[in-house]
Amino acid sequence: MAALVLTGAAVALAIVFGGGKSTEKAKAAETNPGQPTVSIVSPRNGEVQPNHAVVVKVGIENFQLAPASFGEEPELGEGSLRFSLNRVPNCVDPVKLEKAIKSPTGKERLQGQSMDFPKNAGPNGILAEREGTEGKSSPATRPEIFYHRLQWGFYRLTVTLAQNNGATTPYHAVTNFQILPAPGHGPKCTGGKVPSAKAAAFG
């Protein structure tokens, strides 16, 4: 029964967050077989977990990670990754949320707090600090990253292929997941403010 409940929750979250990114990527790959693609293997879209840490793993096709060329001149078909993890805001002023949805530059969502700092992204966060991307993205030359010390809540993760010099490409993938609060420590929004679950639905 517990397994069914968790499965149902995961499905519900997938519906809330939207799981069309993988489908769009697959269609693009079919029409452009030589086009680089990146997909998120874990965590899966809509995943629910009690742990306050997550190992992110990605799959890459038609693109080569090149650690030895990191920071150098761009080369066709090679480069690095940019991981970007943001916590969906909780107890949001509905007026602020509406402005974000209608903003022409806000991508119809609130950005949320970044986890791309050394305290959360470890060595990749240190590299972000060195490269000047802390609070925006964590560079990586391996198809994985470890985030820890994460609070409960909803998270949105974006992985983007980047050139050797750090310039990002249009090729990216997105997933969303939730970290469950401890019993009795769930969200309690007052004054008409919007909880993170509802705010996530707009992203």
Q: What is the pLDDT of residues 120-177, one digit of tens each?
A: 999 999 999 999 999 999 999 999 999 999 998 889 999 999 999 999 999 999 999 9
pTM for the predicted model, two decimal places: 0.74
Give me the number of domains the chain comprises.
1
pLDDT tens digits, one per residue of 24-61: 444 444 455 689 999 999 999 989 988 999 999 999 99
CATH at residue 120:
2.60.40.10
Residue in the structure block whose two tokens are 């066709």: 76
Tell me the residue range of the domain where 77 lies: 2-200
CA distances (Å), origin 136, targets 81, 86, 129, 176: 13, 9, 10, 17
**3-class DSSP state for residue 177?**
strand
pLDDT of residue 53: 95
pLDDT tens, position by position, 181-194: 877 666 677 676 76
Give ∠ CA 15-59-12 in degrees, rounded to 5. Answer: 10
